[in-house]
Structure 1
Amino acid sequence: MRHLSITGFYPDDRQDDSLQFELDIEGTELNEKVAHLIESKPLNEVEPGELLLSESQVMTLSELLGVSFPEGLEYFMGTCAKQ
């Protein structure tokens, strides 16, 4: 089963590529909502890989997920396989 994950890294100019934030989105319904919000398609149609999120997408995800995202990071959404 696939699910979505959000990761955060410092911008490239910081020259630190270590992972600073990670959030696995739990639950089928919530994953579907996020897929529709970010990609405008169902989760099963979201392509593998990572997508850079805009500031407005991060703000909307913060409200939807009830999560405070640390400032100053670039955020990416990707698909993961749950085993």
Structure 2
Amino acid sequence: MSYFSITGFYPDDRNDDSLQFEMDIKNAEHNEVLAQVTEGKSFCEIGPGELELTNEQLREIGRVLGVEFPVGLEYYIGTCIDA
């Protein structure tokens, strides 16, 4: 099963590339909405790789998921597959 994962890191100027935030979204309906928010496609059309999220996308994703993301991080979204 494929799903989205959101990760957050400190900005490059912090010289700390350790993972600061991680959230897996395994709800199929949420994945469909996030695919539209991030790439304007259905989830099945999303290829592998990561995309940096804009502040606007992050706000919309937070609204959809009911999550407040920690401030001061750079966020990315990418697809994962359960093994």
Q: CA deviation at 1:46?
A: 0.7
Gaps spanning 5+ residues in structure 1: where? none
TM-score by length of 1: 0.95
What percentage of aligned pairs have identical amino acids?
A: 54
1:3-82 aligned at under 5 Å gives the runs: 3-82=3-82
Counterparts of 2:81 and 2:73 in 1: how far apart (Å)? 25
Gaps spanning 5+ residues in structure 2: where? none
Counterparts of 1:54 and 1:28 in 2: how far apart (Å)? 22
**What is the total number of aligned residue pairs between the two structures?**
83
Letter of the aligned partner of 1:39 in structure 2? E
Q: CA deviation at 1:30?
A: 1.0
* SS of residue paired to 2:7: strand
Q: Hey, which bits of structure 1, 4+ residues long, moved more than 3 A? A: none
Q: CA deviation at 1:26?
A: 2.1
